[in-house]
A and B are shown apart, each in its own frame.
Chain A
Amino acid sequence: MLEQIEGSKAMARAIALCRPQVVCAYPITPQTHIVEGVGDLVRAGELKDCEFINVESEFAALSVAIGASAAGARAYTATASQGLLFMAEAVYNAAGLGLPIVMTLGNRAIGAPINIWNDHSDAMALRESGWIQLFAETNQEAADLHILAFRLAEELSCPTMVCVDGFILTHAVERIDIPDQASVDAYLPPYEPVQSLDPADPISIGAMVGPEAFTEVRYLQHFKHQKALDLIERLSADFAARFGRVAGGLLRSYRAEDADLVVVAMGSINGTIKDVIDEMREDGLAIGLVTLTTFRPFPARALNAALERARDVLVIDRALDVGMGGPLASHVAIALRDLPRPPRLHSAIAGLGGRPTPKTSLHRLFRQATTQPWEGPHFLDLNEAVIAREIHRRSKARRAGPTAEAILKQMEIERVARLERSAS
């Protein structure tokens, strides 16, 4: 049914339709509305047979989910940013134990400096944890991906993270089609665990594994992810057939077939990019887009096929591997090296800590990629004056104090000066 609804509430409804039996809640912006929404549905009796547990930390949230999943229950939790890092040990543990927990990640920057706004630093920080990572482009997809995620996680017995851009998706009100219970039940069968704690069949789970078998256990996790590449395509096709719309898949191309320049990006920024591409196409530029929905497992082969005809590829990262560059760009570079004639690769870092990525900036960036290609990562809309001043200031004094606070203070002084100038 079509509804005008906040993204988080839509996700909560979709999650409830998946009939989770144990939901662990710990608040962190911008994920709060999702678990609040699930909690409301439990209290109102719309989501039956569900334990909604208010825990004391994200570490506990995922740990409770681990116990519930190992005891045979469908388990769900949600987090963001610092919360994901606080539970990092349990994130790896859930994957190592092969427990099909589904977790929403309301993508948010990681401090310091503390910042509650959107980027992909959190998802990137835990990208090697063994979880499947799916990125939603719209709130419709954010809701739909949860239904797909439970089926995918449980078929593989592998935990799955649904990454949704904080605020941009979680707090935006959009027209969303919430599926009906019967359709979701038909798509998502009841959870049948591959391992479960049961006194009638006592097993030990979580034993120490030494050098003799650790590589094999890890390899089998990798093998599971390789299998997921096919399964995600199959489950997404099944989803499209049943629900009449596209969700998930490994990647999606937009006007990329005949494009010389192909942009690669993940998440909600793709909406803006498509608008810019449409405008630039009207100006005669052969430009297209590949939206990556699946980041783990990384769909290198599918990406190769999507990019093999491009002359230039521009990767937009909403995260920064400090000392390295854009993490998505690094991944794309590895995927492209197998092509006989690899395209030129350009890397841009954009939208860190909620920095807007307006169309004008993207226009400039896309033009520059072909006309004035840059070395290394390009930081979109970087305030060069602020950087130069702070570097200079720090070079003058050993006890220069904290950087973030100095920058904010200087910006405020300049803002006031501008106001005074315009007033006089």
Chain B
Amino acid sequence: MTQLPLDGAQKLKFYQKGTLTVGNRLIDEAERTVQASAARSNALTSGHRACKGCGEALGARYAIDAAMKATGGQLIAVNATGCLEVFTTPYPETSWQMPWLHSLFGNAAAVATGVAAALRREGRDHVRVVAQGGDGGTTDIGFGCLSGMFERNDDVLYICYDNEGYMNTGVQRSSATPPAARTATTPALGPEPGNVFGTGKFVPKIAVAHDIPYVATASVADLHDLEAKVTKAMGFRGARYIQIHVPCPLGWGAASHDTIRLARLAIETGLFPIFEAEAGRITHVRKIRRALPVIDYLRPQRRFAHLLRGGQIDPRVARIQAIADRHIADYGLVEESAA
């Protein structure tokens, strides 16, 4: 809640401050986002080839601009192969207004380790390193290198833009694809349509298990939280990990204007828990005022359409609800007063 002094008049109260809907102009200068500033670095500048409504393009710009601000522009990015790499560098054009290196699909974390090691040896470790990739490049093919970077506590912030599948290759299942979701390799066919229940992994928890200095989840639906976490991450030395939930209109079969809405629904249903952890312990959880039913999140996405066909609610919806309920219980997602 904030109060703006008006000359001799009644003081207006903006109860919505702190929610996601209020404009930056109502917030104190110091609390405004990096994105709201004309001085933002625009490290990932306009003109790239991302799809309309791409959550990853937003997430990457939010995160990297925040990291650029936190380091005074002394930042190098290493990128895994994937949508972000392809849509930003159709050479001779590049959207990166910062030193940027792409090597392979599965080695971004290791390449970043090498960059950080070189900077240390060259006496320029004021320059920081961020590695980034999609969920396929992070939780599947790049997982070995990621875990190695974590356990050595190399001075790298790794950011995973989690859009829950291999979108660059045409929407195939990854280990971050949720159960029941239709992908090109988990089609909505047969007695168990969509992705299999009881599979997949949530890498933030695995990152926490490495006892690295900092782990967080974030969402493009909450810019303040996302920027604060990136900024905080850059305050640590050693291995850090942030997984940002970034809806993919193409892969999820959603309207491109619904990207932020879906990201928000993922938070508010409890399906994507937002938390942070330091040195192996969860230190903060972003609360939900009132948990929404998962069906609100599933309905706008064609990848879940087979669960809601012909006005029927497939029993699998209840299983997805159980996953959200478990997140709510495990992370204590719902505010005490509301619970």
- Name A's B-contacting residues (CB within 8 A): 21-22, 24, 49-51, 53-57, 59-60, 63-73, 75, 89-90, 93, 97, 197-199, 201-209
- Which stretch (B18-26, B97-105, B271-279) binds chain A? B97-105
Nearest 6 A/B pairs, CB to CB = A67-B114, A206-B102, A56-B148, A73-B118, A63-B110, A71-B118
Q: Is the CB of B147 within 8 A of A204?
A: no
Is B145 an interface position by the 8 A CB rule?
Answer: yes
Q: Which residue of B lies closest to A49 (CB)?
A: B121
In the assembled complex, which residues on chain A have CB atoms less than 8 Å from the CB atom of B73?
A: 199
A90 and B104 in contact, given A56-B144, A202-B99 (Cβ under 8 angstroms): yes
In the bound complex, residues from chain A placing their C-beta under 8 Å from that of B118 are 21-22, 51, 67-73, 75
Tell me whether A73 and B107 are in contact (CB under 8 A).
Answer: no
A75 to B73, CA, bound (A): 26
Evaluate contact between A64 and B113: CB separation under 8 angstroms.
yes
Among A63, A72, A75, the most chain B Cβ lie within 10 Å of the Cβ of: A63
Stretch at the interface among B87-95, B191-199, B227-235, B248-256: B87-95
Known A90-B104, A93-B103, A208-B86; contact A73-B117, beta-carbon cutoff 8 A: yes
A-B contact number at CB 8 A: 157
Verify if B75 is at the interface (C-beta below 8 Å from A): yes
Q: A53-B152, A63-B111, A72-B118 are in contact. Are A209 and B91 (CB under 8 A)?
A: yes
| Complexed CA–CA distance, A36 and B117 (Å) | 19
- Which single member of A64, A202, A203, A208 contacts B114 (CB below 8 Å)? A64
A51 with B121, Cβ < 8 A, contacts A56-B147, A67-B115, A204-B96 known = yes
- Is B76 positioned at the interface, with any CB of A under 8 Å from its CB? yes
Which residue, A22, A67, A90, has most C-beta atoms of chain B within 10 A?
Answer: A67
Interface centre among A49, A68, A198 (most CB of B within 10 A): A68
B119's closest neighbor in chain A, by CB? A71
| Chain B positions within 8 Å of A67 at CB level | 78, 101, 103, 110-118
Contact yes or no, B100 A202, CB < 8 A: yes
B100-A63 in contact (CB<8A): no
SS of A interface (majority)? mixed
Which B residues from 111 to 149 make CB contacts under 8 A with A? 111-122, 127, 144-145, 147-148
Which residue of chain A has the shortest Cβ distance to B111 in the bound complex?
A67
In the complex, residue of chain A having the shortest beta-carbon distance to the beta carbon of B108? A63
Could you tell me if A71 and B114 are in contact, using CB atoms closer than 8 angstroms? yes
CA distance A209 to B102 in the complex (A): 12
For A64, list chain B residues within 8 Å (CB). Answer: 110-111, 113-114, 117
* Inter-subunit contact A55/B101 (CB<8 Å): no
Q: Which residues of B contact A205 (CB under 8 A)?
A: 100-102
* Given known contacts A53-B113, A208-B90, A71 and B103 CB-to-CB distance under 8 angstroms: no
Q: Is the CB of B152 within 8 A of A90?
A: no
Q: Of B98, B107, B112, which is within 8 A of A59 by CB?
A: B107
Of the candidates B86, B111, B127, B144, the one having the most CB atoms from chain A within 10 angstroms of its own CB is B111
The answer on a CB contact under 8 Å between B121 and A207 is no
A55 to B112, CA, bound (A): 13
Cβ–Cβ < 8 Å partners of B111 in chain A: 63-64, 66-67, 70
Quick check: B107 and A90 within 8 Å, CB to CB? yes
**In whole angstroms, what is the CA distance A56 to B150 when docked?**
11
Docked-complex contact A68 and B99, CB < 8 angstroms: no
For the complex, give the distance between the alpha carbons of A63 and B117 in Å: 12
Do A207 and B127 form a contact, CB below 8 Å, given A21-B122, A55-B110, A63-B103?
no
B89 contact from A56, A57, A204, Cβ within 8 A: A204
Question: Does B114 lie within 8 Å of A68, measured CB to CB?
Answer: yes
Distance (Å) between the CB of A225 and the closest chain B CB? 22
Q: Given the known A-B contacts A22-B117, A59-B110, are A202 and B145 also in contact in the complex, defined by CB atoms under 8 Å?
A: no
Residue pair A68, B115 in contact (C-beta under 8 Å): yes
19 contacts between A and B (CB under 8 A): A51-B120, A59-B106, A60-B145, A63-B103, A63-B114, A67-B115, A68-B115, A70-B114, A71-B118, A73-B114, A89-B104, A93-B103, A199-B98, A202-B96, A205-B102, A206-B89, A207-B90, A207-B91, A208-B89
Q: A49 — which chain B residues lie within 8 A by C-beta?
A: 121
Q: Is B321 an interface residue (CB 8 A)?
A: no
When C-beta atoms are compared, the residue in chain B nearest to A71 turns out to be B118
Tell me whether B117 and A51 are in contact (CB under 8 A).
Answer: yes
CA distance A90 to B120 in the complex (A): 23
- Asked if residues B107 and A63 are in contact (CB atoms below 8 Å), the reply is yes
Task: Point out the residues of chain B lying under 8 angstroms from A73, CB to CB.
Answer: 114, 117-118, 121-122
Q: Counting CB contacts under 8 A, is B35 at the interface?
A: no
B104 pairs with A50, CB closer than 8 A: no
B301 at the interface (CB under 8 A from A): no
Residues of B within 8 A of A56 (CB): 144-145, 147-148, 151
Closest Cβ–Cβ distance, residue B68 to chain A (whole Å):
9
CB atoms of B101 and A202 under 8 A apart: no
Q: Is the CB of B99 within 8 A of A60?
A: no
Task: Add 15 more A-B contacts to A67-B116, A71-B122 (CB < 8 A).
Answer: A56-B145, A57-B144, A59-B145, A64-B117, A65-B114, A67-B112, A70-B111, A70-B114, A71-B76, A73-B121, A93-B103, A93-B104, A202-B96, A202-B97, A206-B89
